[in-house]
Structure formats: structure tokens, C-alpha cells
């Protein structure tokens, strides 16, 4: 048995296989077939499982990346749309706050953004550059060519001209003949002098930001007189109980303006649309004599020159609370914002100096003294902002001062008692009046 088993040529069964009885070759064949079938099925199952996995990790990977990229793009587009909608909503809200009809600010963060060097509007870009000087004691206007630093013409006007004021639409210069009770129009395009318009007590002149009304500072009449900006017909006269209304400036939204009363040392806050005084305060110093008024570029701070307090009153116009005093020099008078909105030039009439205020720090950064003295009063900046022009009130002269160095470039003789001179044209979309407040 043993020898027969060893000599039949067959190998012993695998430990994993059940022994098959001798002579069962048919059963063995069936078993092999079953095992082969099982192995093939397993292989197919493994292949079937592997193919999707392989496809998922290779063929499907670009689709997933593309989907993620599309999702990120959609998120970014949505965020951009929300930002745009937010800006548009903010603009609409800002426009809703503005005085109706008022041009919106070019930049809400800078009221003087339209006053950049050389940025002349289409209306004035071809006007000849001139400096118009009202001589209160001579009843004339001296016209200076700023390139030649020379008077090229003298115009006879009404009695005691105080200021030369650009109209809201920039097309007319109005000479305020205070004691003559008239306004003399000058066409800045050709220098033609028009027929005087009857206006009582026009010490100074402003325009509402919507361009509808001229506001006459009737100093001796103790009134703010709203007139049609073109015909100068009276629309409403607002009596005031202070003395000497003379200078003003408007809030960023045009809803109110602040007025100085030089002879009673008071300030008024006026509702523009209602044409009504809504608040008043007396400055906290005996004998205060407020003059020019100017708002900061960001619209948050107001400055009022005071020639007796010898400095600037610094005020929050919205709250109209108690102001603080910033000393600048003797006889503080005129205020002028630089072309880059970074500084303000302050004329100190009583000592012949010009102080320079930094809006960023709120501090004085320079002081220029006129050689040989002088009485710097009212004026304005050249188109490029490089020259500050000021009248010499008690010296019958005009000063041209380099704004980069403070050097006096020229001292030009004019008529007696020069006051609110206008440099024209200047950058800006429209005028709020005085010797040139442009926005």
C-alpha cells in the first residue's frame, strides 16, 4: 500500500486542500473548476472596485478642482457685488442727507477735492487770470495781471467796495459796494463791467450750495437777506439780533451754515433750507471780534478767525458747543485752504505775518513775516496754489507770497483801503461766495 502510494506519481495534498479519495478524478476536476471560477469572480470584483477608485482619483480629480474654483469665483463675485451695493447704498444715503439740488462732494473725506492745482472747470478755463482788488477808500477795483505782478486796469465802481465775489455758476464777479447799496457785475471772460444792481447794505455775499440763493451779509441792517442768485430779488430777509454779520461757511451736506458777528462777538448757526437762525452763542472772551470762517477738509472742524482774540476759534459745527482758542498772531483775519487740502494759511493783519496750520496735526507749523511789515487781510490762492495773494488793508498794497517758502515775491501798489480781493479764475465746480470758496 505504501509502495503503491509512493509510486503513482502524485504529490501529497496541500495543507489547504482536503484530501481526495483515490479514484475520484472527476470530483477533483470539478473542485479545480470551482476554485478557478471563485478566483476569477474575486478578480472581477477587485477590478470592479478598483476601476471606480482609480477613476475617482484621476479622471474625477480635475472635475472636483474645477468645481472648487467655480465656487471660489462665485464667492468672490458675490462679495464684490455686496461691496458695490454697499457703496451705492452709502452714496444714496449721503445724497439723501444733502441739501436738495446740491452737487454731491467729489470726495466725502475732502470738501476741497475739486480745488486741485489747475483743475479749472469748463466754464472758466479760458478766462484770463487776474487779481481783482476792491479799494474801499477809492471806490475802485484794481485789476492785476499775476504774471506781470502789475496793475493793468482800474475800474470805477460804487461807494466803499468791500469784497469781489464769484457767483455760484462762476460766470460773474460781484463787487459788493457796501455804502453804495449796489452790486457791480464784472464779466471775468472779457472784463466788461455791467450795470449796477440795487442791493441794500451788501457788506459780503455768499451762495447756497444748491445755487438757488445769494445770501447778503447785511451788516448794518442786521439781517441775512436771501435773494435770487441771478436776479438778486429778495426772497426772504432774516433779522438777526447780533451785530456785524460778515463771514460764513457751509456744512458738508449744505444743510446749515455758520456766520460770524464781528461787532458783538457772536456766532450764528443757520438752517439753509428753512432760512432760519437755529442757534447762537457768544464767544468766551471779552471784546471778541470774529472774522473769516472756514471748515476743515474732512468737514468735522470749523475755524473762526478772531482779530481781538488773536487766534482761531476751533469749533464742532454739528454740536455747536463751546469752542477752544488756538493762538496764531495779532489781528487774525483771513483763512485760505491749500490746494492739496493739507494746510490753511492764516493772515495776521495786526503784525504783518502769515501762519500756516496743518490740518492733520491741528497745529501751527510755520510763520512767515512780511519784510518791512504790512497788513495782510483778505485774498486767495493762484490756480496752481503756489502764490498766496493778500490785500494790505492799511498800506494800499497787495502782497504775492510764495507758498513753498513764504518769500514775498511782490508788493504791488493799489488804491486806498484794499480789502476782499479775488484771484480768478480758480479751480472748483461752483462758488459759495466771499472772495472764493470753491467746492
What is the average per-residue pLDDT within 50-55? 45
Q: Using one digit for the tens of pLDDT, what is the confidence trace for 91-122?
A: 665 667 999 999 999 999 999 999 999 999 99
Give the whole-number percent of the chain exceeding pLDDT 70.
83
Of 117, 114, 190, 43, residue with least CA distance to 432 = 114
Q: Please, where are the H alpha helices in 262-303?
A: none
Lowest average pLDDT, out of 4-18, 52-66, 170-184, 204-218, goes to 4-18
Grid-cell match 480635475, residue found:
62
Can you tell me the mean pLDDT for 199-210? 98
What are the C-alpha distances in Å from 122 to residues 32, 127, 350, 377, 428? 102, 10, 39, 30, 10
pLDDT per residue over 23-43, tens digit each? Answer: 444 444 454 555 555 455 444
- Cα gap 136→150, rounded to integer Å: 19
Of the two residues 4 and 68, the one the predictor is more confident about is: 68
pLDDT-derived band of residue 204, with 50, 70 and 90 as boundaries? Answer: very high
Question: 346 by DSSP, 3-state: which?
Answer: strand
Q: Residue 216: CB partners within 8 Å, gap ≥ 6?
A: 199, 201, 202, 203, 204, 205, 223, 224, 225, 227
For the cut 90, the answer to whether the pLDDT of residue 46 exceeds it is no
pLDDT digits (tens, 9 = 90+) for 398-412: 999 999 999 999 999
* pLDDT at residue number 73: 81
Q: Which residue has the cell 444743510?
A: 255
Secondary structure of 170-193 in HEC code, one letter for each residue: CCCEEEEECCCCEEEEECCCCCCE
In this prediction, residues 370-388 reach a mean pLDDT of 98
Average pLDDT in the chain: 88
> Structure pTM?
0.81
229-259 pLDDT, tens digit each: 999 999 999 999 999 999 999 999 999 999 9
Q: How far apart are CA 169 and CA 186, in angstroms?
A: 14
Is 6 a residue whose pLDDT tops 70?
no
> What is residue 326's predicted lDDT score, i.e. its pLDDT?
98
Query: What per-residue confidence (pLDDT) applies to 79?
Result: 81
SS3 string of 105-133?
CCECCECCHHHCCCCCCCCCCCCCCEEEE
Amino acid at each position: 500500500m505504501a509502495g503503491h502510494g509512493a509510486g503513482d506519481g502524485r504529490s501529497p495534498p496541500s495543507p489547504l486542500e482536503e484530501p481526495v479519495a483515490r479514484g475520484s478524478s472527476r470530483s477533483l476536476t470539478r473542485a479545480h473548476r470551482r476554485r478557478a471560477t471563485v478566483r476569477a469572480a474575486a478578480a472581477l470584483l477587485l477590478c470592479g472596485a478598483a476601476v471606480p477608485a482609480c477613476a475617482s482619483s484621476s479622471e474625477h480629480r480635475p472635475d472636483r478642482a474645477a468645481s472648487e474654483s467655480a465656487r471660489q469665483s462665485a464667492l468672490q463675485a458675490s462679495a464684490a457685488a455686496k461691496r458695490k451695493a454697499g457703496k451705492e447704498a452709502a452714496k444714496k444715503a449721503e445724497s439723501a442727507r444733502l441739501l436738495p439740488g446740491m452737487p454731491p462732494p467729489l470726495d466725502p473725506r475732502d470738501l476741497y477735492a475739486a480745488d486741485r492745482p489747475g483743475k479749472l472747470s469748463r466754464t472758466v478755463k479760458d478766462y484770463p487770470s487776474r487779481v481783482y482788488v476792491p479799494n474801499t477808500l477809492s471806490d475802485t477795483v484794481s485789476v492785476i495781471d499775476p504774471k506781470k505782478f502789475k496793475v493793468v486796469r482800474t475800474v470805477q465802481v460804487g461807494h466803499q467796495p468791500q469784497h469781489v465775489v464769484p457767483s455760484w455758476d462762476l460766470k460773474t464777479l460781484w463787487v459788493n459796494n457796501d455804502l453804495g447799496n449796489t452790486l457791480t457785475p464784472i464779466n471775468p471772460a472779457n472784463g466788461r463791467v455791467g450795470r449796477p444792481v440795487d442791493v441794500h447794505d451788501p457788506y459780503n455775499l455768499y451762495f447756497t450750495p444748491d445755487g438757488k440763493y445769494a445770501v447778503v451779509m447785511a451788516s448794518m441792517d442786521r439781517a441775512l437777506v436771501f435773494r435770487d442768485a441771478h436776479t438778486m430779488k429778495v426772497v426772504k430777509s432774516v433779522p438777526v439780533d447780533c451785530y456785524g454779520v460778515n463771514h460764513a461757511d457751509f456744512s458738508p451736506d449744505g444743510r446749515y451754515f455758520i456766520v460770524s458777528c464781528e461787532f458783538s462777538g457772536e456766532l450764528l448757526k443757520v438752517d439753509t433750507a428753512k432760512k432760519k437762525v437755529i442757534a447762537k452763542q457768544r464767544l468766551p472772551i471779552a471784546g471778541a471780534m470774529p472774522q473769516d470762517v472756514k471748515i476743515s477738509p474732512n468737514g468735522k472742524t470749523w475755524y473762526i478767525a478772531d482779530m481781538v482774540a488773536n487766534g482761531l476759534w476751533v469749533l464742532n459745527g454739528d454740536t455747536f458747543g463751546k469752542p477752544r482758542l488756538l493762538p496764531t498772531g495779532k489781528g487774525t483775519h483771513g483763512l485760505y485752504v491749500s490746494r492739496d487740502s493739507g494746510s490753511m494759511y492764516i493772515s495776521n493783519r495786526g503784525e504783518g505775518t502769515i501762519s500756516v496750520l496743518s490740518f492733520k496735526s491741528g497745529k501751527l507749523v510755520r510763520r512767515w513775516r512780511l519784510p518791512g511789515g504790512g497788513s495782510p487781510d483778505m485774498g486767495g490762492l493762484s490756480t496752481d496754489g503756489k502764490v498766496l495773494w493778500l490785500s494790505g488793508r492799511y498800506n494800499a498794497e497787495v502782497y504775492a507770497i510764495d507758498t513753498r517758502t513764504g518769500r514775498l515775491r511782490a508788493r504791488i501798489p493799489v488804491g486806498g483801503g484794499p480789502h476782499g480781493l479775488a484771484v480768478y479764475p480758480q479751480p472748483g465746480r461752483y462758488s459759495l461766495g466771499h472772495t472764493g470758496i470753491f467746492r
